[in-house]
Structure 1
Amino acid sequence: MPSVSPMRVPGRVQVLVAGGGPVGLAAAVELGRRGIDVLVVEPRAAVSHARPRCKTLNVRTMEHLRRWGLAERLRARAPLPPSWSQDVVFCTSLSGRELSRFTGVLGLVPEGDRFPETGQQAPQYVLEEVLREAVEEIAPGRLVLGSKVVGVRQDDESVAVTVDDGTGRRVVVTADYVIGCDGPRSVVRDEIGARYVGGEALRPNFGMVFESPGLWEHVAHGPAVQYWVVNAAAPALVGPLDRTDTWWAIGFGVDRETGEREARRIIDGVAGRPVRAKVLSTDPWTARMMTVDRMRDGRVFLAGDAAHLNPPFGGHGLNTGIGDAVDLGWKLAAVLDGWGGPGILDSYESERRPVQERVIREATANMRVLSTELYADDLDADDEAGARARRAAGVRIQETKKAEFHSLDLVLGLRIADSPIVPAARSLWAGARLPHLFLADGRSLYDVLGAGLTLLALTEDAPVAAVEEAARLRGVPLGVVRLPEPVAAGYAAKLGARLVLVRPDQVVAWLGDEAPEDAVSLIDTVGGGAPRPLHTSQERKHHV
């Protein structure tokens, strides 16, 4: 992967992203595809495969990857295709008794028109490598590796960012805006005086990656993306990183010292028998439930783990960060391109904070029942007591864990309820993700949306002229898409409107049967207010 020495970085850019993990890279792709001059500064010279971290890319993240033209590239590199398994298994061990099972989990199974891309199981490093390539393709020489942001100072006009190349040599880059995607130990967060608010779990956990040739021969439950192991010896969560010998595992309630000392015992406990295994890496952690007290200070913003932390159960953390990057990316581009007003940046926190808080609540609820809480006597017994214990465990698993693996209402159904750029409306579709459908030619509706605003016309005579003219007068990029019959009629009936104004992030900004009386006001609101003047007083008189 090409990198740039800090001594050769540009002296000025439009946006500097501190941190080149998945969230920072996603922000750079969103911005770069919109023609914004973006620079990413990342301390790691190479992407490590030692710790896979996030393994679940949800449907919404895959929709963004599709929009960027990267979904198929990522799927081609992911070791586990969705067709391989869509199951989560609860068992006494990999070779032991099955207690319960969830199928069609984590958006891995198509559901008709509901979404154009299924979820994908992939180690975080696969996503990072694909996004690094994309940044280099979009903006060659704008990925600075082996370097870190060590200072941020801003005034009303710009931000001065100090970059250290790891040897003590430093340069200052001037940016119009800065996005801090530099993780839980964020320098950017510290520099703007923001702080985490929240708490952490009392119980430690011990993550590891191990190689175990032949372990698949002992797995009694068939392929699954996760196996929840419920026993006294090694209550754990384990899953395959590939279809050969490499696995990840989380030992619940295991501290660093115990995990380092007893890793092999834990692996044998998970397997339910002694197995050959080599520990490749370890990653002790404790769940934290935190958000920052503010996500913005002037021209500096926070996203991803720099802004919020949640337990990993349900696979929402990284995906929420990608959502941050997309939301902030298109809004910064709108401002830098001249059509976005100040309200569009104010909307970043008002739109994303409720999502982050909801995700933290859901992930915390998922954490309340883990393998340690599911254990009971006799689960492996061959007698009637064992059968009763397994039936009881199965009932409890289905009652307490279903929401963790079937969470598409959370992933796709969140609605922006209070935003300065979403006009007040009675329709529940306003502020929601645009309902998806496949067109007659097999294309996704999302594939025909524009990079700016899109006005969907759902009847042949839908009155688009007023909104088109308002966008032209304000210099706002707007494309009109007329859906063909009979698809359009059914879609109009579903939304209860003939006109739908869609934002660049596939969120419904406004909808109605007729253009609003003041279409300029609509465009001004969606564009963040404080618009540029209309071209001439004659044009304004004609429009109004």
Structure 2
Amino acid sequence: MQTEVIVVGAGPTGLMLANELTLAGVQVVVLEKERTRSSQSRAGGLQPRTAEVLDLRGFLDPLLEQALDRGKFGGHFAGLPVELDCRPWQTRHPYPVAIPQGRLEAFLEQRLVERGVPVLRGHAVAAIEQDADGVTAGEIRGGYLVACDGGHSAVRKMLGVPFPGIPGRMASVVADLTLASRSEAVPRVSEHFSRYPKSANGFFTVLHPIEGERYRLIFGRFAAERPDRELPITTEEVQEALTAVYGPETTLGELLAASRFSDATRQVENYREGRVLFAGDAAHIHLPIGGQGVNLGIQDAVNLGWKLAAAVRGWAPEGLLDSYHAERHPVAARVLRTTRAQSLIMNPSRDADLATVRDLFTDLLRLPDTNYFVSGMMSGLDIEYPGVGPRMIDLDLTTADGPTRVSRLLHSGRGLLLCLDDAPRSIDHWADRVNQVVAKADRDAGTVLIRPDGHIAWTSGDMQPLDTALTRWFG
């Protein structure tokens, strides 16, 4: 089979990337080693910036119809009892959106199926060869390959790409289950995350309702040998943790799905190796705390998609594809640092010295300026890339065709020259890559050039000419 891009991995990152490439008219094949999608809840929500990114493609509204009703609670940092307030960041989505990972994957895969994109399940990649013209994965040949195949990436291992970092120091279990009986210590309704972590009798746990009678339990021991990651998780193991923290009145009903994870922190040194690129957990892993993993992966995909499409189509300016690494590597590196810090501050052992640090951070988060800083960092709303402006606010607009919003003008996946000053520009050379819209907003923002990922590439207040910015990003 011949294609333009091979995407390995049908998780949120790979499926979102395939949608981005397909939107740009690029031929894609998605390879996934598992025959069926996991039934485990895994990631349970979207950070505000990821909700915005999905809104840029018109994906958010149909996903919201499948979202769980967990109330409007702000995010958290290290499980501290202070809600992160994203409202000052001028977003339409200031609260995390509770969409289970499986529903997100099913939605993204269905979009690909509707567009005729092959998603080949049960198709493990056994060998990879690349040359100056493309990449061969088994019997499939493509111009590029993107590894989105998770923290234990087979692609990364086959190419011998190092995955430096810090090995896991603790082993934990995450399980979806039902309860046959519950003590008063078990939460009945959704609350802010800070209400869920508990510790007792050598165990730390996080137990919270998912939907209906279904709960998610995360647990581990303070001092224990780390079991092999593939060792089956038994009902006795789960019941022991429930009894230790929630009392003998809390008994396991059905163990629906379970897996092991650690607090290992690793990141590839370069997101590109010739014609092979890395995204999502194949590029970076960290302790799953604060709802960062899926969000990093989705945003990797949206940053990479239009750049890789430009390379495939032959109009990418010099350095555009390499800007994927330059922009996204530091973002993930910061997440790796902050998740390590959070693992210490969460202080499940209730160490007296760490408890004082926890109390100090709690007080700091109650300060508006600190909360603003941390909420922007955890939500991804504060991301700015070198030489690029911040994300474009999703303004209400009035155009000749009627009312709209900035996000709706980016559904095409093309660049956008938004003229809010009644002064359209000549962009004939880029008209096949950039849409120009004249509109009015409730503020005078001049003219703004917006990249397909929603970041501002140029404004009429910049010193450089518009043509320079167009050439830099759109060839």
Q: TM-score range by the shorter chain?
A: 0.7 to 0.9
**1:121-132 mapped onto 2 (5 Å cutoff):** 121-132=98-109
Matched, 1:483 2:439: yes
TM-score for the superposition, normalised by structure 2: 0.85
For 1:46, the equivalent position in structure 2 comes to 36
For 1:335, the equivalent position in structure 2 comes to 311
**1:507-522 mapped onto 2 (5 Å cutoff):** 507-513=455-461, 516-517=464-465, 519-522=466-469
Cα distance change of structure 1 residues 524 and 57 upon mapping to structure 2, 3 Å threshold: same
Cα distance change of structure 1 residues 351 and 514 upon mapping to structure 2, 3 Å threshold: closer
Aligned-residue RMSD, C-alpha: 3.3
Unmatched tracts of structure 2, length 5 or more = none
Q: Residues of 2 paired with 1:117 and 1:334: CA distance?
A: 32
Aligned with 1:240 (options 209, 224, 233): 209
Cα distance change of structure 1 residues 116 and 459 upon mapping to structure 2, 3 Å threshold: farther
Aligned with 2:191 (options 224, 248, 251): 224
- Please give the per-residue CA displacement for 1:289-319, whole angstroms capped at 9, x wherever unaligned: 1111222122111111111111111111221
- Opposite residue 425 of structure 2, the aligned amino acid is A
For 1:459, the equivalent position in structure 2 comes to 421
For 1:524, the equivalent position in structure 2 comes to 471
Check the 8 A contact 1:236/1:371 in 2, yes or no: no
Matched residues, number: 456
Amino-acid identity (%): 26
Matched, 1:325 2:314: no
- Opposite residue 451 of structure 2, the aligned amino acid is R
Cα distance change of structure 1 residues 340 and 112 upon mapping to structure 2, 3 Å threshold: closer
Q: Secondary structure at the match of 1:465?
A: coil
TM-score for the superposition, normalised by structure 1: 0.75
Matched, 1:407 2:384: no
Q: Residues of 2 paired with 1:90 and 1:58: CA distance?
A: 15
Q: Residues of 2 paired with 1:222 and 1:456: CA distance?
A: 44
- Please give the per-residue CA displacement for 1:214-254, whole angstroms capped at 9, x wherever unaligned: 53876468532531113345321222221324333233536
For 1:203, the equivalent position in structure 2 comes to 170
Aligned-residue offset at 1:514: 7.2
For 1:505, the equivalent position in structure 2 comes to 453
**1:83-482 mapped onto 2 (5 Å cutoff):** 83=71, 101-103=81-83, 113-116=90-93, 118-140=95-117, 142-162=118-138, 172-215=139-182, 219=186, 222-224=189-191, 226=193, 227-253=196-222, 255-256=226-227, 260=234, 261-278=236-253, 279-374=255-350, 395=359, 398-399=362-363, 407-410=375-378, 411-417=380-386, 422=387, 430-439=388-397, 443-449=404-410, 451-460=413-422, 462=423, 464-466=424-426, 468-472=427-431, 476-482=432-438
Aligned-residue offset at 1:414: 1.5
Unmatched tracts of structure 1, length 5 or more = 1-10, 92-99, 163-171, 377-389, 423-429, 493-497, 532-544
Check the 8 A contact 2:415/2:433 in 1, yes or no: yes
Q: Residues of 1 paired with 2:92 and 2:457: CA distance?
A: 19
- Opposite residue 115 of structure 1, the aligned amino acid is R
Aligned-residue offset at 1:86: 5.2
Check the 8 A contact 1:470/1:523 in 2, yes or no: no
Aligned-residue offset at 1:398: 2.1
Check the 8 A contact 1:194/1:295 in 2, yes or no: no
Cα distance change of structure 1 residues 69 and 471 upon mapping to structure 2, 3 Å threshold: closer
Aligned-residue offset at 1:23: 1.0
Matched, 1:81 2:69: yes
Q: Residues of 1 paired with 2:245 and 2:49: CA distance?
A: 32
- Opposite residue 444 of structure 1, the aligned amino acid is R
Q: Residues of 2 paired with 1:282 and 1:220: CA distance?
A: 20
